[in-house]
Amino acid sequence: MAVLVGKKAPHFIAKAVINGGEIVDGFSLDQFIGKKYVVLFFYPKDFTFVCPTELHAFQESLEEFKKRDVEVIACSTDTEQSHWGWLQMTAHQGGIKGVMYPIVADTNKTISAAYDVLAGEYFTDDEGTLHADGEMVAYRGLFLIDKKGIVQHQLVNNMPLGRNVQEALRVVDALQFNEENGEVCPANWVAGAEGMKATHEGIAGYLASQVAELN
C-alpha cells in the first residue's frame, strides 16, 4: 500500500458526471489547485449496497464541506454512463439521485491504480494470456488534498466497511486549524477544542490540563 501523505496527489484527466447528471470530458483536480481543498473518495461499484449509503452521506454533509472551502469528489471504476444511470434512481430504488458533487469514471482503472486503491492485479501467464487476480475495482479510499495539491490524509477501508463522513470533516478541521494557528491537534481533537504547541512544554501543559479535568 503506497503512502501518498506528504506527496503531490496523482494527476488524472477523465470523464465525470457533475451536477447530478451532466457528463463532462477532461475532468481534473488541477482546477482546484490554489483555490480549494479536495476530499477525493473511491468506492467499489455503482448499483451496490454500502456504496449508496456513503454517497448520500457525503451529499447530506456537502454544505459543511463547502463552508470549509472543500470540494467533494467521488470516483469508481464504473463508466460515466453507469454513474449517470445510477443518478437517475431514487434512494428507495437503491440509487443516488440528488447527489450533486462530481463522480469520476475511472473506466480504465488508472486513477485507482495511481492512488494504490485498486483491488486485484493483472498478470500474464506463460502462454501470454492476460488474467486478473481478484476483482479490479477500488477499495474505499479517501484522500484529503490541500490547496497546493499535496495529500495531507489518507484512509483505505476494505469493501464491507463504510466510512464516517463526520471523521472526514474532523480531519479537514484539524488540517485547517494547524494551517491557521500553527498548533498541532492531539488525540480526539474536534473543532473548538484547544490545540497544542509542538514543543515539550506545550505537550506537558496540554497533558496536565487533561489530567486536571479528570480530577
Q: Are residues 123 and 58 in the same domain?
A: yes
Residue 49, helix vs strand vs coil: coil
Active site residues: 51
Task: Examine residue 130 and state whether it is found in any structural domain, yes or no.
Answer: yes
Task: Examine residue 198 and state whether it is found in any structural domain, yes or no.
Answer: yes
pTM (predicted TM-score): 0.92
Q: Are residues 120 and 132 in the same domain?
A: yes
Q: What total of structural domains would you count in the chain?
A: 2
Q: Are residues 118 and 214 in the same domain?
A: no
Task: Examine residue 4 and state whether it is found in any structural domain, yes or no.
Answer: no
CA 139 to CA 161: how far, in whole Å?
10
pLDDT in tens, the chain (215 residues): 689 999 999 999 999 999 999 999 999 999 999 999 999 999 999 999 999 999 999 999 999 999 999 999 999 999 999 999 999 999 999 999 999 999 999 999 999 999 999 998 888 889 999 888 888 999 999 999 999 999 999 999 999 999 999 999 999 999 999 999 999 999 999 999 999 998 877 676 667 677 666 66
C-alpha distances in Å from residue 2, one per residue of 43, 75, 141, 155? 18, 18, 12, 11
